[in-house]
Amino acid sequence: MVKQFKKQVLLATSIAALGLSAATAFAADVVVDGKGEVPYVIDGRNVVARSGADLCWRTGYWSPAAASSAMAGQFPVGCGCDSDIVPKDKCVAPMAAAPAAPAAAAPAPKPAAEKIKLSADALFDFDKAVLRSEGRAKLDELAAKAGQVKLEVILAVGHTDRLGSEGYNQRLSEKRAAAVKQYLVGKGIEANRVYTEGKGEKQPVTGSSCNNMGRENGRNKKLVECLQPDRRVEIELIGTK
* pLDDT, tens digit, 9 for 90 and up, residues 158-213: 999 998 899 999 999 999 999 999 999 999 999 999 999 999 999 999 988 888 77
76-103: average pLDDT: 75
Summarize the confidence of residues 42-64 as an average pLDDT: 69
Can you identify the CATH homologous superfamily of domain 112-240? OmpA-like domain (3.30.1330.60)
- Cα–Cα distance for residue pair 71/66, rounded to 1 Å: 9
Residue 219 has pLDDT above 90, yes or no: no
According to DSSP, the residues that pair with 118 across neighbouring strands are: 233
Residue 7, pLDDT above cutoff 80: no
* Residues 229 and 117: beta-carbon distance below 8 Å: no
| Domain map (residue ranges) of the chain | 2-91, 112-240
Q: Are the C-beta atoms of 204 and 161 separated by less than 8 Å?
A: yes
pTM: 0.54
Read off φ and ψ for residue 72, nearest 5 degrees. -120, 95
How would you list the strands of the sheet with 30-31, edge to edge? 30-31, 71-72, 75-76
Query: Helix (H, G, I), strand (E, B), or coil: what is residue 42?
Result: strand
